[in-house]
Structure 1
């Protein structure tokens, strides 16, 4: 999307030191409609603004009455558009999912070009503890990613994150919209383990033709290509991986169903010979062949294995393969077929050398025995004792 050559009039003149090639944008709410005043979106676009983020909802009861029309008219004038939800955290944690679903009911899934990913505005704690607020935020964001297939954006500011959120690094994988009004050409150091920001809200006192009163101003790092990439909701992360990786295409074949939400969060798609799973936490990984079939048979991401955290790779012994999941591993060879190993038994197995140990490959899934659980291997057994919590090796 081309950037107009006209400069955006900004009341905070020190912010003019931000590199000129960084796209400038605004974020608005009903405050930009005093006494019902309308926004002249053509004037906004002519002033050099390239994107507009509109407040959609707040908590469980408020919907911005100007949201739908503002977003539509901004889009019609050629602006990239985005929508945000102002979080009102409250217990129980399930209210996060309810707020996320209400937000999406207002905005739609934004799976089209010209729309930024959904945004969570987090600056109220609802008297929740840091741990509770972390759990609430995670539930909201994971509901958004599961429903839309897009990685949501998180808006916050430094003192809220360092003090209220106790500077948790749990969300550094989400794109950051960072608010700091320091009058500089740089936002400075970031909290929460973030190494970079996606958007920077650098002033709340911007002045833009077509808008009555002050308006928040933002920049996208670090050019129009970055803005265009962020605003393309047509291609999912699963699509990108499949389209860019010839090895994956060869292993999986053609898609046989549409992408859809996965149990435990994220998205998945089934192909002729396997699966692709995605979540923000785990990335995109495949499971195919015997391992993929075993995984589906166990329940896929709804099972104790959760989502895959690796593609299928060689195991430690010749001719064997393995895939790593959140809750365990599946091993396969032509001689032994596919079997899972998880929990304490897996930890002990790996400490011995895994498939490269003298136990060899698993020849059974884990199964219950008196007082615990056991897994059988080519050359022995590993048994977990419930009373002691220990794992013992038995060899023939």
Structure 2
């Protein structure tokens, strides 16, 4: 049966957590995978952190969540969702249309994201593929900006930066975001972790002024230190398990600000 070839976001989250923990102990030459002791420790969350529980809740899904009862999701408190559309230039989520349309019909604000493979082709080429296959969302008040998911390489843990040095990685990301902006007129969203961003872009500040941040930080009371000059986060993926299908997220603002973002204004409503 067709399925998302990307390993579950839970596995990627655990790999990220393991890498961050091992990094504190000093350099290493190879990764053997996340230690068994980390499995299930802090990567999941049953609900939003208490201090931020009033923020709009959402989630993100891929083909791992083939069938979603969108009306039930909304009744559980979801107000937005990001749906995986594409990966590299040769993979399309086979359930994207059903998921994206179902979310819209249930009244959720929805958006599409692309899983980056910088080792496969240029950022501009992958952006063009993404936009042809679900990523071209209009600023209609119901559609979030296109999002780039760039994180640890789930296919080769020895090459977490996909074989690119920091300068080339920054150019790759800029190539992707510029193509999205040129074709849609919208400022895209970048999903990443602070640790990966530091390791693979040198903590580049090149994107903080014109790209919204979707930060992944699991099992913590807040997102923690932000990467690359960003002063604030727009979305926070705080856990991989919870009441909503897929990963659990919050939007950093009021419901009106969330709608403003879907109307094409900035994350702070400007």
- So what's the TM-score if we normalise by structure 2? 0.75
1:258-277 matches, cutoff 5 A = none
Does residue 142 of the first structure (1) align with residue 173 of the second (2)? Answer: no
Q: Which has the higher contact order (CA 8 A, sep 6+)?
A: 2
- 1:164 Cα offset (Å): 1.5
Q: For 2:259, what is the secondary structure of its paired residue?
A: helix
- 1:204 Cα offset (Å): 0.8
Question: Higher helix proportion, which one?
Answer: 2
Match of 2:130 in 1: 103
1:1-396 matches, cutoff 5 A = 12-13=45-46, 15-33=48-66, 38-90=67-119, 95-107=122-134, 109-111=136-138, 112-123=140-151, 124=153, 125-173=161-209, 174-184=211-221, 186-208=222-244, 211=245, 215-233=246-264
Q: For 1:15, what is the secondary structure of its paired residue?
A: coil
- 1:16 Cα offset (Å): 3.7
- Output one character per residue of 1:241-276: Cα deviation in whole Å (capped at 9) or x when no partner: 9xxxxxxxxxxxxxxxxxxxxxxxxxxxxxxxxxxx
Q: 1:19 to 1:89 in 2, by over 3 A?
A: same
- Output one character per residue of 1:166-209: Cα deviation in whole Å (capped at 9) or x when no partner: 1111111210000001330x21221111100010000011233x
Does the 8 Å contact 1:21/1:224 carry over to 2? Answer: no
Instruction: Identify unmatched segments of 5+ residues in structure 1.
Output: 1-10, 242-396
Distance, in Å, in 2 between the alignment partners of 1:66 and 1:220 is: 25
Match of 1:362 in 2: none
- So what's the TM-score if we normalise by structure 1? 0.52
Does the 8 Å contact 1:12/1:183 carry over to 2? Answer: no
- Give the number of aligned pairs: 215
Q: 1:76 to 1:165 in 2, by over 3 A?
A: same
Q: For 2:240, what is the secondary structure of its paired residue?
A: strand
Does the 8 Å contact 1:220/1:226 carry over to 2? Answer: no
Does the 8 Å contact 1:79/1:114 carry over to 2? Answer: yes
- 1:21 Cα offset (Å): 2.5
Answer with 1 or 2: which has the greater Rg: 1
